[in-house]
């Protein structure tokens, strides 16, 4: 596939993903996060590697870059700038002998992470998506996650609620039951 087609295909994939996340964030009441979600995808290191390793919108180009180079510079850049990724919150605890651990995440970013996972599931699986899909994907890989227990519990609760009760119920719960407005932005 030509770089020109990759350029437009990758841009369409990003725009579609951002539209889905924005819709979810707005439903949750996270308007600013819905607008600013994944802005770093337009930086040269992320965008042009996304073009170079474009996967026809079916998979993340970061995996293809990692396969080709042994690492993904786009992903390393992305996770270090976007607080809705649990990897952003991995650090050494006060007792460094314990090794790397998940730090507490503000609730607003756990909600954005949920919105992002749902949108990515829809984006990469448009023909087979069900409300159970994000939970199934999470369950498949959760043993590899370094996630703070509170963030993990909330993410799992939201994913299970989505799978069993649907989008309306989970977004109603987020808007009406969770105290995310007092959670810090930084």
Express each pLDDT in 49-85 by its tens digit. 999 999 887 788 999 999 999 999 999 999 999 999 9
**Residues 118, 29: Cα–Cα separation, whole Å:** 16
Q: How many CB atoms lie within 10 A of CB 86?
A: 21
Q: Where are the domains of the chain?
A: 3-177
Q: Whole-prediction pTM value?
A: 0.93
Locus of tokens 């707005």: 26
pLDDT digits (tens, 9 = 90+) for 146-165: 999 999 999 999 999 999 99
Rounded (10°) angle between helices 107-124 and 3-28: 130
């Amino acid at each position: 596939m030509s770089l020109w087609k990759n350029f437009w295909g990758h841009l369409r994939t990003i725009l579609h993903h951002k539209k889905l996340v924005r819709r979810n964030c707005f439903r949750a009441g996270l308007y600013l996060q819905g607008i600013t979600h994944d802005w770093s995808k337009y930086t040269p290191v992320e965008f042009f590697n996304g073009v170079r390793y474009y996967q026809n919108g079916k998979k993340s180009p970061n995996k293809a870059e990692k396969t080709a180079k042994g690492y993904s510079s786009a992903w390393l850049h992305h996770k270090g700038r976007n607080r809705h990724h649990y990897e952003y919150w991995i650090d050494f605890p006060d007792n460094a002998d314990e090794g790397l651990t998940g730090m507490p995440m503000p609730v607003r970013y756990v909600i954005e992470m949920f919105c992002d996972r749902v949108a990515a599931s829809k984006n990469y699986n448009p023909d087979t998506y069900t409300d159970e899909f994000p939970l199934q994907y999470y369950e498949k890989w959760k043993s590899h996650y370094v996630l703070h227990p509170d963030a993990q519990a909330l993410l799992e609760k939201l994913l299970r609620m989505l799978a069993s009760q649907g989008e309306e119920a989970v977004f109603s719960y987020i808007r009406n039951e969770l105290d995310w407005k007092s959670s810090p932005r930084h």
